[in-house]
């Protein structure tokens, strides 16, 4: 018999994940996000609705979180009418991108209350979430990972056990450091190219299908070349948040992380100029504009 699943965080990624869970026969209880559209679709598919995290916990054996970051995770777990308020054994799978040090501390506190925390952040896009092909990097004991994986498999194509609790969130920050580093590099390279008379199309014709091509490049340049605003639906403010978590982790380790600082500042500039709700590929336009050029070729 399948365990009862609760889900909190029906945003761009969470909606697709929850859709796969209910579609694949798991008993699902959900909470509304900012808008009702997602939850109404899930209710029609067979999910149940709860009004508070406490009510979600009461109806569930495993609760999956897909919220913004550590402050939101802590609020859902320990806030008024939070998951802990249900006073029952529970497994929490945190698919958010959270601060690893906060995750480890939280796991220790929850263990004393007979609540298991597994950190299982994801990689890929909302399209992959809907198709059930996300990459998941999960931290926890062997037994906890095995239990969590039974439901994670409903929305993931690859599930990697990274080690103990906190290691999943650490690996996620490293993954995002690489991808957001690419975004910052692409943006500066495009700007320099335009200043030198090389159009984004010429740039793309050289990089695409060459050694420097990759999946992230392709979604980024789907915006740059085709101006598809939804090519990579991850906000600049979220990127800045993740790079700030990375900086915090580096400080805690006593590590020099100069590249991380440069990448974080690229996104800090975007957020500081009031453009945090734009998506990551749009960093290219911001960098170009700050340097007095445009990546949009004039109509002929």
Confidence check: pLDDT of 298 > 80: no
Same domain, 161 and 190: no
Report d(CA 191, CA 200) in Å as an integer. 9
Same domain, 183 and 120: no
Is the residue at 251 inside a domain? yes
Q: What is the CATH number of the domain that holds 78?
A: 3.40.50.720
Confidence check: pLDDT of 238 > 80: yes
List pLDDT tens digits, range 119-164: 999 999 899 999 999 999 999 999 999 999 999 999 999 999 999 9
Same domain, 223 and 284: yes
**Maximum Cα–Cα distance for the chain, whole Å?**
67
Same domain, 180 and 58: no
Nearest to 95 by CA among 154, 143, 177, 22: 154
Is the residue at 72 inside a domain? yes
Boundary of a domain, candidates 147, 165, 183: 165
Total-model pTM: 0.92
- Known active-site residue 172: yes
Is the residue at 300 inside a domain? no
Q: What is the CATH number of the domain that holds 211?
A: 1.10.1040.10
Confidence check: pLDDT of 80 > 80: yes
25: Cβ–Cβ under 8 A, 6 or more apart, which residues? 2
Confidence check: pLDDT of 235 > 70: yes
Mean pLDDT of 18-35: 92
User: 213 is in which domain, residue-wise?
Assistant: 170-290
Is the residue at 98 inside a domain? yes
For the chain, give the mean pLDDT. 96
Same domain, 110 and 67: yes
Q: What is the pLDDT at residue 186?
A: 98
Q: What is the pLDDT at residue 128?
A: 94
Same domain, 143 and 200: no
Boundary of a domain, candidates 104, 132, 165: 165
Q: What is the pLDDT at residue 236?
A: 98
Number of domains in the chain: 2
Confidence check: pLDDT of 171 > 70: yes
Confidence check: pLDDT of 29 > 80: yes
Q: What is the pLDDT at residue 294?
A: 97
pLDDT band at 297 (very low <50, low <70, confident <90, very high): confident
Is the residue at 298 inside a domain? no
Q: What is the pLDDT at residue 35?
A: 76
Boundary of a domain, candidates 139, 165, 191: 165
Confidence check: pLDDT of 300 > 80: no
Report d(CA 164, CA 168) in Å as an integer. 8
205: Cβ–Cβ under 8 A, 6 or more apart, which residues? none
Same domain, 82 and 186: no
CA dihedral 176, 69, 240, 243 (to 10 degrees): -50
Same domain, 144 and 268: no
Is the residue at 299 inside a domain? no
Same domain, 38 and 129: yes
Same domain, 259 and 188: yes
Q: Looking at 172, 201, 222, 278, which residue is catalytic?
A: 172
Q: What is the pLDDT at residue 167?
A: 97
Same domain, 147 and 197: no
Is the residue at 187 inside a domain? yes
Same domain, 17 and 135: yes
């Amino acid at each position: 018999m399948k365990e009862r699943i609760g889900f909190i965080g029906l945003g761009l990624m969470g909606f697709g994940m929850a859709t796969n869970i209910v579609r694949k026969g798991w008993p699902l209880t959900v909470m509304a996000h900012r808008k009702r559209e997602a939850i109404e679709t899930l209710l029609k598919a067979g999910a149940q609705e709860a009004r508070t995290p406490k009510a979600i916990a009461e109806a569930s054996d495993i609760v999956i979180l897909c919220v913004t970051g550590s402050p939101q995770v802590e609020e859902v777990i320990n806030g008024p009418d939070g998951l802990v308020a249900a006073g029952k054994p529970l497994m929490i799978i945190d698919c958010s991108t959270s601060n690893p040090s906060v995750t480890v501390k939280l796991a220790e506190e929850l263990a004393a209350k007979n609540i298991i925390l597994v950190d299982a952040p994801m990689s890929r896009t909302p399209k992959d979430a809907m198709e059930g092909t996300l990459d998941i990097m999960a931290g926890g004991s062997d037994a906890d990972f095995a239990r969590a994986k039974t439901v994670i498999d409903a929305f993931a194509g690859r599930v990697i056990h990274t080690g103990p609790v906190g290691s999943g969130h650490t690996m996620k920050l490293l993954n995002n450091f690489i991808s957001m580093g690419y975004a910052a590099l692409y943006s500066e390279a495009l700007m320099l190219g335009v200043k030198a008379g090389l159009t984004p199309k010429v740039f793309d014709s050289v990089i695409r299908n060459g050694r420097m091509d990759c999946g992230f490049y392709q979604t980024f340049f789907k915006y740059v070349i085709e101006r598809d605003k939804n090519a990579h639906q991850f906000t600049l403010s979220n990127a800045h948040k993740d790079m700030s978590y990375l900086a915090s982790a580096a400080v805690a380790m006593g590590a020099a992380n100069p590249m991380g600082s440069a990448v974080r500042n690229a996104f800090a500039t975007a957020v500081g100029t009031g453009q945090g709700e734009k998506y990551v590929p749009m960093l290219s336009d911001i960098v170009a504009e700050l340097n007095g050029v445009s990546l949009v070729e004039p109509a002929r």
